Amino acid sequence: MSTSRIIIIGGGIVGLATAFKLQRQCPEHAVTVLEKEPGVGRHQSGNNSGVLHAGLYYKPGSIKARLAVSGIREMVAFCSEHKIPHDVCGKLVVATDDAELVRLRALHERGIQNGLLGLSFLEREAMLEIEPHVGGIAALRVPQEGIVDYPRVCATLQQQIEKAGGRIVTGARVTGIRSISRGWLLQTGAGEFESEFLVNCAGLHCDRVSELAGETREVRILPFRGEYFRIKAARQDLVRHLIYPVPDPVFPFLGVHFTRLIGGGIEAGPNAVLAFSREGYSKTDLNLADLWDAVTFPGLWNFLKKHKRMSWGEFQRSCSKRLFCQSLQKLVPDVQVEDLEPGGAGVRAQAMTPGGDLVHDFHFVSRPRALHVLNAPSPAATASLAIGEEVARRVAEMIGAR
């Protein structure tokens, strides 16, 4: 049996950043991270677009808006300090018709309200100077956004945590959590662990982990796969930096876009289709327990009823490279089906209410000896250090208060 004052379940970027910040805020407390995989950052944190988001999209006053704005600054500083590859190359959000132009102007206002500096509204001529192949009628330039190597961020966080005396135990899937007088007793694939305080950062499984700790699952995690194509090497001059569409405000997903990768190459995507497995990275992955969990949740059916067209459209686009390419051509008209080759995929952990609404904000639930992170979707990788700071502050207050 191992004991630790604080145990964090989940070695993704949010769990690691939380451990890193807890060690700074409460250096007297031992911190252990339990991760079920053989290494850290193997799920959302290692399978995403690798973009540094600055907080343009999020509702002013939301936790997301606040932590995204401080988070990107902290992430860029962390990467510079630890020599992690990153590039603050700026992004264009492109309006392709008059309706999108109205939404783009609203987005501009929102960005200003959220405290973003240096936003500029570009007419077509000015857009072409930055991205010579871009379509559309106008764009918003977000200068402080960029690209980064998130797996390297995770690896560096791991080194820093271990250097400061923390433990990261891999191959430690948490399968049981029991409340005991001193705190919690955890059953894992790597033996039993005891802790006084628990932090749940289990990403795609955070709702289940909260249930193991005695919570009722009011919101449920629904897995939305995001599929990518890569632009063939000979056509990579089509995109210089980051080209994004104007997002639909109803959905937290940003729409298929073009991303230059920090390791080289250009990615196009991701779409957003319901996955039949919480860790289903390919179309044929099926996990019966995950599927049952989704189809028995009224929220899924309410969501599908409300968003029939969008859901059907995403499904069709997932099955058709031609339709995928058509969406991309709205942003870069010259891109052709034959320029695209298969890319990877990631699965988003998206919390949904029983009424079928997607939870937009980051969602933390505090209990006397536990804190559950129950929704940490994009831009939680960018904002991870700020999320870690916030969670660590709440945990320190709770531990200090008892």
Ligand X SMILES: Cc1cc2nc3c(=O)[nH]c(=O)nc-3n(C[C@H](O)[C@H](O)[C@H](O)COP(=O)(O)OP(=O)(O)OC[C@H]3O[C@@H](n4cnc5c(N)ncnc54)[C@H](O)[C@@H]3O)c2cc1C
Handedness of CA 51, 54, 59, 61 (dihedral sign): positive
| For helices 321-331 and 308-319, angle between their N-to-C axes, nearest 10 degrees | 110
Q: Which is nearer to ligand X, 104 or 391 (CB)?
A: 391
Given candidates 168, 221, 256, 381, which one binds ligand X under the rule CB under 6 A?
Answer: 381
Task: Select the span of 98-106, 118-126, 156-164, 376-384 touching ligand X (CB under 6 A).
Answer: 376-384
Given candidates 141, 205, 240, 372, which one binds ligand X under the rule CB under 6 A?
Answer: 205
Q: Is 69 in the site for ligand X (CB under 6 A)?
A: no
Q: Is 152 in the site for ligand X (CB under 6 A)?
A: no
Question: Minimum Å distance from CB 42 to ligand X?
Answer: 5
Give every CB contact of residue 123 below 8 A, 6+ residues apart in sequence: 138
Q: Is 146 in the site for ligand X (CB under 6 A)?
A: no
Total count of residues recorded for the chain? 402
Question: Minimum Å distance from CB 51 to ligand X?
Answer: 3
Q: Residue 104 pairs with which residues in a beta bridge?
A: none
Question: Minimum Å distance from CB 333 to ligand X?
Answer: 24
Q: Side-chain half-sphere of 145: how many Cα atoms within 13 Å?
A: 27
Contacts to ligand X from residues 13-52, by CB under 6 A: 13-15, 34-37, 42-45, 48-51
Question: Minimum Å distance from CB 102 to ligand X?
Answer: 26
Whole-angstrom distance, CA of residue 34 vs CA of residue 42: 13
In whole angstroms, how far apart are CA 389 and each of 14, 63, 385, 394? 10, 13, 6, 9
Contacts to ligand X from residues 334-373, by CB under 6 A: 346-348
DSSP string of 336-366?
-GGGEEEEEEEEEEEEE-TTSPBP-S-EEEE
Total residues binding ligand X (CB under 6 A): 41
Q: Which amino acid is at 39?
A: G
Contacts to ligand X from residues 234-293, by CB under 6 A: 270
Query: What are the residues binding ligand X (CB under 6 A)?
Result: 9-15, 34-37, 42-45, 48-51, 53, 172-174, 201-205, 209, 226, 270, 346-348, 376-382
